Amino acid sequence: MIGHGGTDAGGCLDPRLTWRSAGTADLDGWAALIARTAAVEQPAWFERRADLAQILESKTNPGAANTILGRDGRGVSRAYGRITKNRDGDKALGFGCVDPGWQGTGIGTGLLGWMEQRTRERFAGDAASGQPESGPVPRLRLHMEQQHRHQAALFKGAGYRTVRYYNQMHRPLAIGLPEAELEAGLELVAFGPELHEAVRLAHNDAFRDHWGSEPRDEEAWGFVVNDPQARPDLSAVVLERSSGTVAGYQLASHDAGGAATRGFSEGYTDLLGVRREFRGRGIAQALLADAMRRFAAAGLDKASLDVDSENPTGALALYAKMGYVAVNSSMAWDKEL
């Protein structure tokens, strides 16, 4: 994701562009805008056409109300923004970008002002439909990679503050891969449709003590398991044999197009979780070791993941022990509206 942001409510959409919500007819131009921006800013990941098509399918965050796309006089997409919010969530998330050739002209400021206003509306709508009046203050959260200093300047100037740091980590697969065995009574199995719901519930349980995490409903989980880059063959689940309970899971993806621009291929661990009652039994280590072997067998160069620098489970130390090295940092920025 690239160009996340927000600004004060005084921003207004730039009149040089024609603004409207994004629809299926805009997918090609929308994806091209993001690709042009990514070619300059070199983010670790960015949305492709298939990702955007999936976004427009959301019922919780319908594109008609939660996206904005600015086009120039020739009909070329030059800027976009969108927000997402869970029904009972305490924050909205903002995403967007401005064409590199149009940056620095104030378009981003107005665009991100739209995000803030839309966030206020979403919180007000939730309150009107039954959320307690004492519910959370509207909050917009933005993410950016550390090297994108122009975004940091924009966010800071608009009144946002950094609230969390994350590390992107890589582990070369050409060197020796770790061995990790599960305790008796636990078994590692393939991840398939029959486990989708059980793993969703396990994920919500495992991440209830993680900063910033919110429970994922069926729609949100569908975006995970049906993501265009999801690789169930590179994923796995650990079950307790006696009960069939999901103890832990590792869900992976692979961006085949990213290898051409980044110079290496990677298996990416999108989600890794272990339920509280199963922690301390080597499950995460076994899942990561299994993931590395799956990635290597698929001919990939590196195993990758992101980790909250203040993760309460000690994940950062585990990853370092298994040979992962931090290669990039990102930050979350918050503003109460």
Fill in the DSSP letter of residue 99: -
Instruction: Report yes or no on 182 lying in a domain.
Output: yes
Domain boundary among 101, 134, 159: 159
Please choose, from the candidates 246, 253, 167, the residue with its C-alpha nearest in 3D space to the C-alpha of residue 203. Answer: 246
Q: How far is CA 109 from CA 30, 37, 70, 207, 334, in A?
A: 19, 17, 13, 34, 16
323 contacts 180 by C-beta, under 8 angstroms: no
Could you tell me if 23 and 152 lie in one domain?
Answer: yes
Instruction: Report yes or no on 10 lying in a domain.
Output: no
Could you tell me if 289 and 232 lie in one domain?
Answer: yes
Residue 280: phi, psi to the nearest 5? Answer: 80, 10
Q: Given this model, what pLDDT does residue 309 score?
A: 83
Instruction: Report yes or no on 6 lying in a domain.
Output: no
Could you tell me if 188 and 323 lie in one domain?
Answer: yes
- Exposed, middle or buried by CB within 10 Å (0-12, 13-18, 19+), for 183? exposed
Could you tell me if 76 and 144 lie in one domain?
Answer: yes
Could you tell me if 94 and 189 lie in one domain?
Answer: no
Could you tell me if 148 and 182 lie in one domain?
Answer: no
Q: How many domains does the chain have?
A: 2
Could you tell me if 62 and 78 lie in one domain?
Answer: yes
Report the distance separating Cα 138 and Cα 244, nearest Å.
40
Could you tell me if 192 and 45 lie in one domain?
Answer: no
Could you tell me if 211 and 282 lie in one domain?
Answer: yes
Residue 239: phi, psi to the nearest 5? Answer: -110, 150
Structural domain boundaries, residue 269: 167-329
292 contacts 234 by C-beta, under 8 angstroms: no
Domain boundary among 159, 176, 191: 159
199: Cβ contacts below 8 Å, ≥ 6 apart = 191, 237, 246, 249, 251
Domain boundary among 159, 188, 203: 159
Could you tell me if 215 and 285 lie in one domain?
Answer: yes
Instruction: Report yes or no on 8 lying in a domain.
Output: no
Please choose, from the candidates 298, 275, 304, 281, the residue with its C-alpha nearest in 3D space to the C-alpha of residue 180. Answer: 281
Per-residue pLDDT of the chain (337 residues; tens, 9 = 90+): 333 333 333 458 999 999 999 999 999 999 999 999 999 999 999 999 999 999 999 999 999 999 999 999 999 999 999 999 998 899 999 999 999 999 999 999 999 999 999 999 999 998 877 655 557 899 999 999 999 999 999 999 999 999 999 999 999 999 999 999 999 999 999 999 999 999 999 999 999 989 999 999 999 999 999 999 999 999 999 999 999 999 999 999 999 988 888 899 999 999 999 999 999 999 999 999 999 999 999 999 999 999 998 876 678 899 999 999 999 999 999 999 9
Instruction: Report yes or no on 191 lying in a domain.
Output: yes
Note the pTM of the prediction, 2 decimals. Answer: 0.91
Instruction: Report yes or no on 1 lying in a domain.
Output: no
Instruction: Report yes or no on 270 lying in a domain.
Output: yes
Look up the CATH number of the domain holding residue 250: 3.40.630.30
Could you tell me if 41 and 85 lie in one domain?
Answer: yes
290, HSE (Cβ side, Cα atoms, 13 Å): 26
34: Cβ contacts below 8 Å, ≥ 6 apart = 2, 46, 47, 48, 52, 80, 97
Instruction: Report yes or no on 4 lying in a domain.
Output: no
Could you tell me if 219 and 149 lie in one domain?
Answer: no
